[in-house]
Amino acid sequence: MPIMKIPVNVHKRLPPSWVQCFQKFKGCHAGQKLDGLAKLKQYFRYFGYINISSINFTDNFDDDLELALKTYQLNFNLNTTGELDEPTLKHIVRPRCGVADIINGSSSMNSGKSSSKSSFHLHTVSHYSFFPYAPRWPANKRELTYAFSPENQLSDSVKVVFSRAFDRWSVVIPLNFTETSSFYSADIRIAFFSGDHGDGEPFDGALGTLAHAFSPPNGRFHLDNDENWMIDTEITPSQSAFDLESVAVHEIGHLLGLGHSSIEEAIMYPSISPGMRKVALAGDDIQGIQVLYGSNPNYNGSTASSTQERETSGSGDLVLGPLWGLTLLSAIGLISLVL
């Protein structure tokens, strides 16, 4: 169904099977064996935490799984227990971007920052990351075009959401983005798909992975058509649909060369909850993207935003504003419902 028909009445969909399956692992730790742990290992391999090509994972909680879990906990500012404790499981089932946190074994996010957990004082360590070898659009290409898949027949009100999302980035770097009607020759090609769509990264239905985008200069930007997307959450807040602009700003970060960040307030943080609107670049995002492209000459902002000044190195230290608290609570509520 084309997105412009969604969501007048947001309907509840069943979560993907892995969400239902993972909650039974609560308290599971190394040395145990539980039906379905192989699926969890596939999840961790998908997002880069297990770097093994095996297609036949066992249901044993082995060393590989424990290491993956600890790295995941480090990346998401959770206590690195190496066990499937409740906060970790709640995090694993949070909807997120389909791009891996660790690509080809290269560490990124917190797990690649050796000092990030060692001190407890306020600091300004950057947590942005790049894809391996830091690909970016070439220096002679400062005017990028984007186009929407003709098959999606998106309305102008949806297209303008993407335009606003591109503007968030062009304000801080010397790149311009222009819509073109020529889908196959555009630098950036935006499409909504359901399930398997031919690039080896199938979508998984409602919740789970929401979208993914490829590193420069690939330009493919795909969104899961089975999500409940909202385009006007600033006017009509929703607790059960995903804010399209928030996800678009994140995926454009990938299209430009940014990987994921461990800073929860950063646009490049991998997870987002239904109803959450997060469209403003954080200092971490701005610092990262300006390393790749330099600053827009007209940009006067400081890259040391309040976000980074508040960020501390311990786990769970981020200061959440009232809105974040609400959305986090509602996300937890939703997860409890679906579990």
User: Annotated binding residues for Zn(2+), as ranges?
Assistant: 97, 197, 199, 212, 222, 250, 254, 260, 268
Q: How far apart are CA 4 and CA 153, in angstroms?
A: 9
Tell whether residue 222 is a contact of Zn ion (CB under 5 A). yes
Contact of 98 with 193, CB cutoff 8 Å: no
Determine which residue in the list 199, 232, 234, 317 makes contact with Zn ion, applying CB under 5 A.
Answer: 199
Residues paired with residue 224 on neighbouring β-strands, in sequence order:
193
Q: Which residue has the tokens 């190195």?
A: 313
Cα(36)–Cα(61) distance, rounded to whole angstroms?
11
Identified catalytic residue from 251, 264, 265, 311: 251
Q: State phi, psi for 312 to the nearest 5 degrees.
A: -120, 175
Nearer to Zn ion, 71 or 83 (CB): 71
- Which residues, 276 to 335, sit near Zn ion by CB under 5 A? none
Instruction: Give the number of residues in contact with Zn ion, rule: CB under 5 A.
Output: 5
The contacts of residue 66 (CB under 8 Å, 6+ apart) are 29, 30, 82
48-87 footprint of Zn ion as x/- string (CB under 5 A): ----------------------------------------
Binding region: 97, 187, 197, 199, 204-205, 212, 222, 224, 227, 250, 254, 260, 268
Reported as type and span, the H/E element at residue 40 is helix 37-46
Query: By Cβ distance, which residue is nearest to Zn ion?
Result: 97
* Residue 191, φ and ψ in degrees, nearest 5: -150, 145
Query: Could you give the 3-state DSSP secondary structure of residue 261?
Result: coil
- Which segment (66-74, 167-175, 193-201, 291-299) binds Zn ion by CB under 5 A? 193-201
What 3 state SS string does 163-199 have? HHHHHHHHCCCCCEEEECCCHHHCCEEEEEECCCCCC
Q: Is 251 a catalytic residue?
A: yes
CB of 1 to Zn ion, least distance (A): 18
Q: Please give the DSSP secondary-structure letter assigned to residue 318.
A: P
Supply the minimum distance, in Å, between the C-beta of residue 198 and Zn ion.
8
Q: Which residue has the tokens 């801080």?
A: 172
Q: Which is nearer to Zn ion, 83 or 265 (CB)?
A: 265
In terms of CB distance, is 35 or 199 closer to Zn ion?
199
Please tell me the distance from the alpha carbon of residue 181 to that of residue 82, in angstroms, as a whole number.
Answer: 49
Name residue 122's beta-bridge partners.
312
CB of 211 to Zn ion, least distance (A): 8
* Stretch binding Zn ion (CB under 5 A), from 38-46, 95-103, 160-168, 298-306: 95-103
Q: Which residue, 163 or 194, is less far from Zn ion as judged by CB?
A: 194
For helices 244-256 and 283-293, angle between their N-to-C axes, nearest 10 degrees: 30
- Smallest gap from Cβ 156 to Zn ion, in A, equals 24
Here the tokens at position 41 are 């290992």
- Closer by beta carbon to Zn ion, 82 or else 108: 108
User: Cα torsion for 8, 13, 16, 21, to the nearest 10°?
Assistant: 140
Q: Enumerate the known binding-site residues for Ca(2+).
A: 187, 204-205, 224, 227
Are 239 and 274 spatial neighbours (Cβ–Cβ below 8 Å)?
yes
The answer to the question of residue 99 lying near Zn ion (CB under 5 A) is yes
**Smallest distance, Zn ion to C-beta of residue 248, A:** 11
Minimum distance between the CB of residue 173 and Zn ion, rounded to whole angstroms?
A: 18
Per CB under 5 A, the list member of 19, 97, 263, 286 interacting with Zn ion is 97
Q: Whose Cβ is closer to Zn ion: residue 23's or residue 149's? A: 149
**Closest residue by Cα to residue 190 from 179, 201, 174:** 179
Q: Would you tell me which residues interact with Zn ion (CB under 5 A)?
A: 97, 99, 199, 201, 222
Active-site annotation, residues: 251
